[in-house]
Amino acid sequence: MLEIIMFIAILVISLLIVIKAADLFVDNLVAIGGAFGISEIILGVTASAIGTSLPEFGSAMIATLTNSPDLGVGVVIGSNIWNIAGILGITAAYVGLVRSDPRGLTRDGAVTLITALILVAFMFMGSINKFAGIIMIAVYCVYLWILVKDQKKESKKKGNNTDSEVKEELKDNNEEKSTENTGSPEKSSENLESFKSRKIDKKTVAWTLVGLAGLIVGCRLLVYSGVELATIAGVPTMIMGLFTLAIGTSIPELVVTLSSAMKGLHDLSIGNILGSNTFNIMIGIGIPALFMNIPVEPLSLTFDAPVMILVTILVLLLIKRGMKLTRRDGIILMATYIAYAYIRLFVLA
């Protein structure tokens, strides 16, 4: 009994470490991205998504390296189902309305669905090997390349307008401060450059690294305590990964998605979930597969993975109707997750 209490305590503490570390990492990473003028939706599917997905990636990676690869797969698949049906469902139901950008939905939604299909295709082979890992990582790199191209196009379109707005604001400031002799052409030019590009504080970089370190330590403790509790309770590690660790490690996504939607940053909110799911599969499973073959549980192939694909299609169809998620859509998504959890835990277990 004392041993169980100890491992539960470690699980809770490690979750708190992971949540705080992810929050620290994301805040500072987004600050760095913002300093480079990266758009909201690009930040959502890259910096924010990668940052909030690090707990899942860390858990999957450490689970693989400690010979519990099925736990890692469970964390990834379980997190992806929870991210869409649970987190987006809760967010839409609570906020009432979450809008989506058509361009972002077409690009990021399609990639999220494609990556889920790629995972299932490799699962049909019996195990996810090094070749599959290389393909997954390559696909993610291509996706990042597409994002960079889109960001450059967007920057060019907005470049002229931004420059004129900045110059106009600087002109007004210089006129107000003309008595202080700050309106020289040379000074205005310097102000323009400093206005357009913010400096990245060294503390921001340092806190980003601290957050990353916290994620590594927290995820190691999380996997360790999860495996031990599953062993003591006789619960399959796949189930532990699909629910306990999947939901626990997805708390950063819940916090970022909900808070973004409440602040009206809808593109960041939905982009965070779509980007997280893509990262979870392509990197969360792709990189561990480079180190060892990841076995595939039959029930995971015949039930969990298909559910992941179905909820992805469901949310894309719900959003596509009016480029938004309503409170009713959120309730539908939450009901879908409850039905999945009930069938998986009490009917198929």
| 192 found inside a domain | no
Residue 342 confidence (pLDDT): 93
H or E, element range at 20: helix 2-35
Contact 237, 299 (CB under 8 A): no
Contact 120, 306 (CB under 8 A): yes
Range of the domain at 109: 2-157+202-347
What count of other Cβ atoms lies within 10 Å of the Cβ of residue 83? 32
User: Quick one: how far is CA 273 from the chain centroid?
Assistant: 5
Residue range 118-170, pLDDT digits in tens: 999 999 888 899 999 999 999 999 988 888 787 777 767 666 554 555 455 55
| 100 found inside a domain | yes
How close are the terminal C-alpha atoms of the chain, in Å?
25
Taking CA atoms, 138 is separated from 3, 41, 141, in Å, by 43, 22, 5
Rg (CA), the chain: 22
Q: Tokens for 293?
A: 């073959």
| 15 found inside a domain | yes
Looking at the 3D structure of the chain, how many domains does it have?
1
Provide the β-strand partners of residue 127.
295
Q: Does the pLDDT of residue 185 top 90, yes or no? A: no
SS3 content of the chain, % helix, strand, coil (to 5): 85, 5, 10
Residue 159 confidence (pLDDT): 60
pLDDT above 90 coverage of the chain, percent:
26
| 96 found inside a domain | yes
- Please tell me the distance from the alpha carbon of residue 335 to that of residue 92, in angstroms, as a whole number: 13
What count of other Cβ atoms lies within 10 Å of the Cβ of residue 48? 30
DSSP code for 180: G
| 131 found inside a domain | yes
Provide the β-strand partners of residue 98.
325
Residue 38 confidence (pLDDT): 63
Helix axes 251-262, 266-282, angle to 10 degrees: 160
What count of other Cβ atoms lies within 10 Å of the Cβ of residue 59? 32
Q: Tokens for 322?
A: 């009016």
Residue range 29-86, pLDDT digits in tens: 667 766 766 665 566 666 667 766 767 777 777 777 777 777 778 888 998 999 999 9
| 227 found inside a domain | yes
Q: What is the CATH number of the domain that holds 21?
A: 1.20.1420.30
Q: Tokens for 129?
A: 């090997």
| 300 found inside a domain | yes
Taking CA atoms, 150 is separated from 39, 102, 257, 322, in Å, by 10, 14, 23, 23
CA dihedral defined by 348, 53, 245, 288, rounded to 10 degrees?
A: 80
Q: Does the pLDDT of residue 300 top 70, yes or no? A: yes
| 188 found inside a domain | no
